[in-house]
Amino acid sequence: MQFVSFRLTGVLLMTSFAAAQCCPGDMHGQVTDSAGAPVPNATVYVHECNGSHETGGHYRPAAMTDKDGKYVVAKMAWGPCTVTVSAKGFKPYEKSDIRSVIDSNLEFNAVLQPGGVVCDGERLGGSPDCIAKPQTWEYGVLVQGGNGLTEDRNGFHFMSAGVHLGKVLTSESGHGTLKGNFEYAVEVYPFWQSYTPKFQKASCFAVPTAGTSFIGPGLYCSPLYTVGGTFTGVTITPIILRWNFTHGKRFMPWAQAAGGLLWTNHKYPAFGSNVLNLGNDGPNADASVFNFTPQGGIGMHYFVKPARSVDFSANAVHISSASLGDKNPGVNASVQFTLGYTWWKK
């Protein structure tokens, strides 16, 4: 249970602390933990005052506690005000309707409970407002799965696992639900698989080759063989441009555009038919082991504890060799869903 005591006096008090000398109009006190031990380096803010020495009631003095947990807020606005106390390792504390009288002293003591952290002197408690600050790093692990879209690719399925590394580069900008900042990130999936339908295909050449049969002038083809099935590979997305929407308290949505590269152990994707088809099987009729993966998506972080989040996203991914192979069958559209866990570190 949290406890706060405060005392207003209508006469001039001159009380000496190790941290500072208290003067008329000051607020002073001590911040302790639930066991009564002093809390040093706690930040005490005075804000949201209805009356003030400044126009508009936005006077916001602050102080830091000394080694004994004591502080002095100089020239506090005359109240009522709201006082916020925060310290690393403790839950944020807030008390409203703290009333000061001009030219008088105010004593305000706070007891903090364990939990929570502090970011740049503000409250955190898992809030994106404090986590997504410039120079903040994001480390995550991911699993991803999805399906191809459109009639000719709805039999394609995907599964992968990897890691995410991001860095917040800008301060917050914008207002309301669009308020946020810019993050650059990279993802690597050392495990990537695609499960595709199987086709029959032949290899054809302009000259006789071992195992081929004469089909027509200048064309010799092998017997039909099976292609498709499971492909294994590695994919890296070195360019992820993400906008974090930081207006929430436990949820931080985001939107991104990205570009990546895919390598597979066989030329991907497979294509063919159940009979000899010279459009598929003729000379110069192969895909590529390298494909590009332009993509875009939306997602969100849900903060389960300070600087820890569970992550969900949906990406639309296009797979194309850009004609690195003889043919570029590609996967024009797929949707891939991601589940991850992230650590945030300043």
Among 6, 131, 127, 137, residue whose Cα is nearest residue 76: 6
∠ CA 339-345-346, rounded to 5°? 145
How far, in Å, are 88, 155, 266 from residue 83 at the CA level? 17, 60, 64
Residue owning tokens 């003729």: 282
Alpha-carbon distance of 318 to 269, in angstroms, equals 12
Average pLDDT over residues 263-277: 79
Average pLDDT over residues 11-29: 46
Whether 240 contacts 186, CB under 8 Å: yes
- Both tokens of residue 182? 């810019």
Q: What residues form DSSP beta bridges with 46? A: 83
Residue 147, pLDDT > 60, answer yes
∠ CA 292-298-304, rounded to 5°? 120
Please write the tens of the pLDDT for every residue from 58-102: 445 678 899 999 998 876 666 678 888 888 778 888 888 877 666
Beta-carbon count within 10 A of 106 CB: 26
CATH number, domain 128-345, options 2.30.110.10, 3.30.1330.60, 2.40.160.20, 3.20.20.70 = 2.40.160.20
Alpha-carbon distance of 22 to 109, in angstroms, equals 15
Alpha-carbon distance of 143 to 116, in angstroms, equals 28
Residue 118, pLDDT > 60, answer no
Burial class (CB in 10 A: 0-12, 13-18, 19+), 171: exposed
Confidence of residue 190 (pLDDT cuts 50, 70, 90): very high
Beta-carbon count within 10 A of 263 CB: 15
Please write the tens of the pLDDT for every residue from 220-256: 888 888 888 999 999 999 999 999 998 887 889 999 9
Q: What is the four-CA torsion angle of 126, 127, 130, 136, rounded to 10 degrees?
A: 60
DSSP string of 102-145, one letter each residue: TTS-EEEEEEEPB---EETTEE-TT-HHHHS-TT-EEEEEEEEE
Whether 40 contacts 47, CB under 8 Å: no
- Both tokens of residue 334? 């797929």
Q: How many H-runs (helices) and E-runs (strands) does the chain carry?
A: 2, 22
Residue 5, pLDDT > 60, answer no
For the chain, residues classed under CATH 2.40.160.20 are 128-345
CATH 2.60.40.1120, domain 4-123, yes or no: yes
Please write the tens of the pLDDT for every residue from 194-204: 999 888 877 77
Task: Return the H-helix or E-strand segment holding 167.
Answer: strand 157-168
Beta-carbon count within 10 A of 118 CB: 20
Whether 148 contacts 121, CB under 8 Å: no
For the chain, residues classed under CATH 2.60.40.1120 are 4-123
Task: Return the H-helix or E-strand segment holding 227.
Answer: strand 225-245
Alpha-carbon distance of 19 to 166, in angstroms, equals 41
Alpha-carbon distance of 98 to 55, in angstroms, equals 19
pTM over 0.75: no
